[in-house]
Amino acid sequence: GGLTYREGIYITEEIHSTGLLSALDLVEVNPRLAVSEEEAKATASLAVDVIASSFGQTREGGHIVYDQLPTP
User: Is the residue at 71 inside a domain?
Assistant: no
Q: How many domains does the chain have?
A: 1
Q: What pLDDT does residue 64 have?
A: 61
User: Is the residue at 25 inside a domain?
Assistant: no
Q: What are 5-61's pLDDT values in tens digits? A: 999 999 999 999 999 999 988 888 888 889 999 999 998 999 999 999 999 887 776
Q: What is the mean pLDDT of residues 60-71?
A: 65
Residue length of the chain: 72
Q: Is the pTM of this model over 0.75?
A: no
Q: Which domain holds residue 5?
A: 1-19+30-59
Contact 34, 40 (CB under 8 A): yes
User: Is the residue at 49 inside a domain?
Assistant: yes
User: Is the residue at 41 inside a domain?
Assistant: yes
User: Is the residue at 1 inside a domain?
Assistant: yes
User: Is the residue at 34 inside a domain?
Assistant: yes
Rounded to 5 degrees, φ, ψ at 10 are -60, -45
Q: What pLDDT does residue 31 have?
A: 81
CA distances from 70 to 7, 33, 67 (A): 21, 44, 9
